Amino acid sequence: MSHVKIWVHAVWGTKNRERILSKEIRQRLFQHIRENAKEKQIYIDSINGDVDHIHCLIALNADMTIAKVMQLIKGEAAHWANKNSLLKQKLEWADEYFAVSVSESMLNKVREYIRNQEEHHKRSTFKSEYEEFIRKFGFQHHG
């Protein structure tokens, strides 16, 4: 049996960065995402976000690709939210997402960063955070 655990910090936003995820909606959405992930054997260590995006610390297993996990989490969450009229308008995610590997030695730092999202975004927008990730991790920014 293979033993695989690859930590990934994933971030995705609402379509057009719409600020529609109130604290109450986020809590219900996070609870559903955790339950859905557990059913699909996806381990979510930490999840949090702000009005227009979500951060997730996920442990991938041997059978999971990042693309598959994002489809199962992002796509299913929007489907569930819309089916259950969680928001007044339709919940749609932006197509793109950000995902980067996390070493075991950095787990607590990433957990803390995710836990403090609301505080962090009193000082910084999601757009500036996203651009900082693009720079910090050496991604090419398109658009």
* pLDDT score of 53 more than 80: yes
d(C-alpha 71, C-alpha 54), whole Å: 14
Q: Would you call 129 exposed, middle or buried from its count of C-beta atoms within 10 A (0-12, 13-18, 19+)? A: buried
Tens digits of per-residue pLDDT, 56-115?
A: 999 998 888 999 999 999 999 999 999 999 999 999 999 999 999 999 999 999 999 999
Q: Where are the domains of the chain?
A: 6-135
Q: What is the pTM of this model?
A: 0.87
**What are the structure tokens assigned to 118, written together?**
């609301």
Mean pLDDT across the stretch 18-33? Answer: 96
Architecture (CATH level 2) of domain 6-135 = 2-Layer Sandwich (3.30)
For residue 141, what pLDDT is reported? Answer: 53
Cα 113 from Cα 93, distance rounded (Å) = 22
DSSP per residue over 10-39, as a string? Answer: EEEEEGGG-----HHHHHHHHHHHHHHHHH
